[in-house]
């Protein structure tokens, strides 16, 4: 199950470009952070972006293959950001959204 998101978070499918989704994450100061994630040309384990938030548009590319999911999570779960943190654990980054909402 994907982690909880701030209220009023929305997802859009960009009209152009290579990304599957753009997450619009509001901050406490009222600013909106745009996070692009997922690649249009590739399958994912399961599109878990909530439809009530604008998701579910890429369900036709779900493969549901546990071995591919494990391989993805092993590969991407070990990547570190510039500050040394595991990228998938740093909230509201492309790696975080992909790891929890597509894989």
Confidence check: pLDDT of 2 > 80: no
Mean pLDDT over 3-14 rounds to 91
Per-residue pLDDT at 7 exceeds 90: no
Q: Is residue 103 pLDDT above 70, yes or no? A: yes
Buried b or exposed e, range 16-52, using 16+ CB within 10 angstroms: eeebbbbbbbeeeeeeeeebbbbeeeebbbbbbbeee
For the stretch 28-54, pLDDT in tens is 888 999 999 999 999 999 999 999 999
The domain segmentation of the chain, as residue ranges, is: 10-101
Give yes or no for residue 1 having a pLDDT over 80. Answer: no
Q: What is the pLDDT of residues 53-86, one digit of tens each?
A: 999 999 999 999 999 999 999 999 999 999 999 9
What is residue 30's predicted lDDT score, i.e. its pLDDT? 85
DSSP symbols for the chain: -PPP--TT-EEE--SSSSEEEEEEEE-TTS-EEEEEEEETTS-BS---S-GGGT--TTGGGB---HHHHHHHHHHHHT-B-TTSSBGGGSTTSHHHHHHHHT-
Is pTM beyond 0.85 here?
yes
């Amino acid at each position: 199950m994907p982690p909880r998101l701030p209220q009023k978070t929305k997802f859009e499918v960009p009209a152009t470009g290579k990304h599957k989704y753009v997450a619009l994450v509001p901050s406490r100061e009222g600013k909106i952070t745009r996070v692009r994630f997922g690649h249009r040309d590739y399958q994912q384990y399961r599109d878990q972006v909530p439809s009530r938030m604008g998701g579910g548009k890429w369900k036709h590319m779900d493969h549901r293959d546990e071995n591919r999911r494990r391989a993805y999570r092993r590969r991407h779960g070990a990547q570190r950001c510039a500050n040394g943190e595991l990228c998938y654990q740093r909230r509201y980054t492309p790696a975080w959204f992909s790891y929890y909402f597509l894989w």
